[in-house]
Amino acid sequence: MPSEVHMPKKVVIVGGGFAGLKAARALGNNEDVSVTLIDRRNYHLFQPLLYQVATAGLSPAEISGPIRGILSKYKNVSVFLDNLENVDLTNKKIQVQDRSLEYDYLILACGAKHSYFAHPEWEENAPGLKTLEQATEIRRRLLMAFERAEKETDPEKQKQQLTFVIVGAGPTGVELAGTIGEISRHTLTKDFRHIDPSRTRVILIEAGPRILAAFHPDLSRKAAADLEDLGVQIWTNTRVTDVKSDSVVLGDEVIKAATILWAAGVQPSSINKTLGVPLDRAGRVIIEKDLSLKEHPEVFVLGDQACYLTDKGQALPGLASVAMQQGTHAANQILREIEGKPRLEFKYLDKGQMATIGRRKAIAQISNLKFSGFFAWILWLFIHVYYLIGFKNKVFVIWQWAYAYFTFKRGARLIVDKEWRSKPKPPVS
Amino acid sequence: MPSEVHMPKKVVIVGGGFAGLKAARALGNNEDVSVTLIDRRNYHLFQPLLYQVATAGLSPAEISGPIRGILSKYKNVSVFLDNLENVDLTNKKIQVQDRSLEYDYLILACGAKHSYFAHPEWEENAPGLKTLEQATEIRRRLLMAFERAEKETDPEKQKQQLTFVIVGAGPTGVELAGTIGEISRHTLTKDFRHIDPSRTRVILIEAGPRILAAFHPDLSRKAAADLEDLGVQIWTNTRVTDVKSDSVVLGDEVIKAATILWAAGVQPSSINKTLGVPLDRAGRVIIEKDLSLKEHPEVFVLGDQACYLTDKGQALPGLASVAMQQGTHAANQILREIEGKPRLEFKYLDKGQMATIGRRKAIAQISNLKFSGFFAWILWLFIHVYYLIGFKNKVFVIWQWAYAYFTFKRGARLIVDKEWRSKPKPPVS
């Protein structure tokens, strides 16, 4: 007879993003652990393709999968739709809406949201791109701008409707700008009768000296040239001082624009400030070499919520590949500890980073290798489709892309209202 | 030289549903007419499949296509996103938001919306299913009910979360009830860990003596038996007297239910009351044999907005096939008149009607022919996919169906918020 009753360790995972899902999978169907994953969404979102939803190329369901469907086969994993309200590190429990959950191990992977640099009032005028709701709102604004331009008879007002400003030239900003540039050049001419395409402007604003600063300067230059071929105007070294409903203010300059999008700066989950642990300047939790908290080795913090310093003293970037590797690593350390083995240091295997520019160009950088142009785009395509979780979505997305590529059409051009209730009757005179 | 300058006739079409689109296509690229189509949506909605969006089987973009994309190849057709505010029959012009449009011919095809029988306050508690926004709201409520049930430890409260009441047993009500019955039997057992499926109830309420009253009684009976096989309880001869946020009142009975859906009764566009023309009891415009208004032969009213009386004195039903045939007929009468030919009477070619019950049963009735069971379902599938406008959507929908059929999974299980802005920070104690 066994000397003690086998009780699985309680592991609570907060967040069903790349890190949380990878951790749940690594712990799945292991009888040493009982896993509870909570998320305030019922779906996992493939964020690298969110800009495709914002630009009407893909539907929300095509880049997301229900978390409980993805984890369905792991019988020791329960999934709850819940909002994390508090973490009690001392008593090893977390508070969600109306109850608390105890843990032996806690994995925090709550991700990040947009930061407006102390100007939250700008959000209304310039939505960011972190959630599906924001993506469909951006899609609505983009498509509405073209619809209004079609009806506009005043040339100046039409020009304003057809001016799109994107603030921030990281991968998201570049991908939005490139796709909008392409839409306005190709879709416009075929589907609209009264728009003068020469009035369309896409302006990409960047505070730093070059776009895609995380990439090698050679690749930044190539990407800038490719964007300009798509009609995108790039304004570097330019700081936004105000965002109004119909214009962007840049010091003493003003750009009149009906559509303004925000792709500058992120901040980690606001739970960080409540933990009472050291944070870096960006507000991320500084974690140990094994990804845990110094004073609480039973708590791991992963992905965009955390700051992991490499041996060179640099923080790992906010990439899906970092989050995925960290999720697997944290889960494995829990299992090792249960088996009585010592923990191991996390080693990040650089899978590189990439960004697309329009429908047939990209840049990619993997360690010292640099790629650009059509080949990099093909590489980008395969890597993204490969990582899209769930077989069905992969086939769909390839099909959508092939279709959009050969026809220049975009499949998800819906202007969907925020209100589902019946409209009040129109004022009939 | 021609004796007069060729000026195309101005045709204005209001509504991009089945009737409006068919009319636009029949007039497309005909140099005798200049066509303007207005709709308050930028997309055509394939309403017969809307229940699939509401039950997470299909995505909004898969059952809809951008109107201007569909009509892109017709160079004489302009599309505007606009709301009809007034029709001035005397001066032959319509008023939209901030301008008016003159017409030589007007085609009104504004459709219908749900009717709550003088109880508009019920809408909040029991959404209807006429728009994409309503469909995603219903999807959100359905999925949220299961999520809340998973967390619920009180058996009575869990039962209430798992009780779904559908009011109205026409095709939409039957299709919703059957699909929800199926989801709760199959999806539940695999993806949830804490739900007791025996607590799930789907109740279909009908004021009349039988479900699917527009069909032959034999088919109603078959459909009722198939629904009961899926666990749906059918309450006929039952009248709803109140709809509360957590219950349905039926005289002196009360059903506690977290999810209540409305599929009873429609009313035509509210523009009808302003036209000053004869309406039937349901509020539909009574039209002539050529589909025009008696006093205004240059105005056609089509589809769900109109009442066309057959030689037997019966009104044609609100079916897509009626609307499509009427759209083509109205357009052809305009072209005939321009060519100096007399108008023809509209003759409805009965294409039958059908309804599905769950994922492998249906009923169909075409003239005197009756079909039921799996064969009728296959028939239903092919007819609906065939009519889905746009090649791409067809392939998609077939794929989605095949996938859902063989795996019991549903592809679009997203609970999407109505609010896109950042959430206020959670209250951290």
- Report DSSP letters for B274-335, one per residue: GS-S-B-TTSPEE--TTSB-SS-TTEEE-GGGEE-B-TTSPBPPS-HHHHHHHHHHHHHHHH
Q: Does the distance separating the beta carbons of B412 and A136 come in below 8 Å?
A: no
Q: Does the distance separating the beta carbons of B403 and A399 come in below 8 Å?
A: no
SS3 content of chain B, % helix, strand, coil (to 5): 35, 25, 40
CB B103 within 8 A of CB B89: no
Helix ranges (DSSP H) in A126-170: 132-151, 155-161
E strands present in B146-252: 163-167, 201-205, 232-235, 242-243, 247-250
Q: What pLDDT sits at residue B426?
A: 38
CB A39 within 8 A of CB A133: no
Kindly report which listed range (A234-238, A384-388, B178-182, B214-218) carries the lowest average pLDDT score. Answer: A384-388
pLDDT tops 70 at residue B422? no
Nearest-10 Cα torsion for B76, B81, B84, B88: -30
Contacts of B41 in chain A (CB under 8 A): 415
Pair of tokens at residue B317: 């039903």
**Is A276 an interface residue toward B (CB < 8 Å)?**
no
Residue A383 vs residue B212, higher pLDDT: B212
User: A300 pairs with which residues across the strands?
Assistant: A107, A292
Nearest CA to CA, how far is B134 from chain A (Å)? 5
**Is B69 an interface residue toward A (CB < 8 Å)?**
yes
Q: For the segment A9-55, what is each residue's pLDDT rounded down to a tens digit? A: 999 999 999 999 999 999 999 999 999 999 999 999 988 889 989 99
Contacts of B43 in chain A (CB under 8 A): 413-415
Count CA within 13 A, CB hemisphere, residue B307. Answer: 17
Q: Is B168 helix (H, G, I), strand (E, B) or coil?
A: coil
Q: Is A318 helix (H, G, I), strand (E, B) or coil?
A: coil
Q: How far apart are CA B133 and CA B112, in angstroms?
A: 15
CB A62 within 8 A of CB A46: no
Q: What pLDDT sits at residue B360?
A: 82
CB A169 within 8 A of CB A204: yes
Q: What pLDDT sits at residue A1?
A: 46
pTM of the model: 0.89
Nearest CA to CA, how far is A347 from chain B (Å)? 33
* 246-275 in chain A: CB under 8 A from chain B: 270-271, 274
| Radius of gyration for chain B, computed over Cα atoms and rounded to the nearest angstrom | 23
Q: Does the distance separating the beta carbons of A274 and B427 come in below 8 Å?
A: no
- Report DSSP letters for B57-101, one per residue: SS-GGGGEEEHHHHTTT-TTEEEEE--EEEEETTTTEEEETTEEE
Q: What pLDDT sits at residue B423?
A: 53
E strands present in B349-426: 353-357, 361-366, 369-372
Q: Does the distance separating the beta carbons of A396 and B396 come in below 8 Å?
A: yes
Nearest CA to CA, how far is B46 from chain A (Å)? 13
First CA to last CA distance, chain B: 87
CATH 3.40.640.10 applies to domain B120-264:
no
Among the listed residues B153, B131, B149, B130, the one whose alpha carbon sits nearest the alpha carbon of residue B141: B149
Q: Do domains B9-114+267-338 and B120-264 have the same CATH topology?
A: yes
Amino acid at B49: L
Question: What residues of A are labeled active site?
Answer: 175
The ranges assigned to domains in chain B are 9-114+267-338, 120-264
Q: Does the distance separating the beta carbons of B413 and A43 come in below 8 Å?
A: yes
Q: Considering Cα of A48, then A52, then A54, then A55, what sign does the dihedral take?
A: positive
Q: Does the distance separating the beta carbons of B191 and A68 come in below 8 Å?
A: yes
Cα→Cα distances B85→B8, B38, B96, B218, B284, Å = 25, 12, 5, 45, 18
Count CA within 13 A, CB hemisphere, residue B51. Answer: 21
* 327-386 in chain A: CB under 8 A from chain B: none
Q: What pLDDT sits at residue A18?
A: 93
Share of chain B above pLDDT 70, in %: 90
Residue A317 DSSP one-character state: P
Q: What pLDDT sits at residue B410?
A: 63
Q: How far apart are CA A56 and CA A143, in angstroms?
A: 9
Pair of tokens at residue B73: 């190849």
CB B219 within 8 A of CB B212: yes
Q: How buried is B269 (Cβ within 10 angstroms: 0-12 exposed, 13-18 middle, 19+ buried)? A: buried
CB A143 within 8 A of CB A183: no
Question: Which residue of A80, A192, A399 is in closest CB contact with B151?
Answer: A80
Among the listed residues B343, B305, B303, the one whose alpha carbon sits nearest the alpha carbon of residue B324: B303
**Is B59 an interface residue toward A (CB < 8 Å)?**
yes
Contacts of A59 in chain B (CB under 8 A): 59-62
Residue A423 DSSP one-character state: P
Q: For the segment A262-315, what is each residue's pLDDT rounded down to a tens digit? A: 999 889 999 999 999 999 999 999 999 999 999 999 999 999 999 999 998 899
Pair of tokens at residue A408: 């220049």
- Report DSSP letters for A47-67, one per residue: GGGHHHHHTTSS-GGGGEEEH
Q: What pLDDT sits at residue A221?
A: 96
Q: What pLDDT sits at residue B261?
A: 97
Q: How far apart are CA A182 and CA A175, in angstroms?
A: 11
Amino acid at B8: P
CB B127 within 8 A of CB B145: no
Residues of chain A with pLDDT under 50: 1-2, 391, 424-429
* 128-147 in chain A: CB under 8 A from chain B: 131-134, 136-137, 143-144, 147
C-alpha of A285 from chain center: 19
Contacts of A80 in chain B (CB under 8 A): 147, 150-151
Nearest-10 Cα torsion for A70, A72, A73, A77: 100
Q: How far apart are CA B178 and CA B172, in angstroms?
A: 10
CATH of region A9-114+266-338: 3.50.50.60
Helix ranges (DSSP H) in A83-216: 132-151, 155-161, 171-191
Contacts of B151 in chain A (CB under 8 A): 80-82, 99
pLDDT tops 50 at residue B226? yes
Among the listed residues B358, B425, B408, B361, the one whose alpha carbon sits nearest the alpha carbon of residue B186: B408
Residues B255-261, mean pLDDT to the nearest whole number:
96
Nearest-10 Cα torsion for B317, B320, B323, B326: -100
Q: What pLDDT sits at residue B107?
A: 98
Q: How far apart are CA B236 and CA B248, in angstroms?
A: 15
The domain B9-114+267-338 belongs to what CATH superfamily? FAD/NAD(P)-binding domain (3.50.50.60)
Among the listed residues B266, B294, B292, B331, the one whose alpha carbon sits nearest the alpha carbon of residue B20: B331
Q: What pLDDT sits at residue B425?
A: 40
Q: What pLDDT sits at residue B227?
A: 95
**Is A78 an interface residue toward B (CB < 8 Å)?**
yes
Among the listed residues A189, A183, A236, A166, the one whose alpha carbon sits nearest the alpha carbon of residue A208: A236
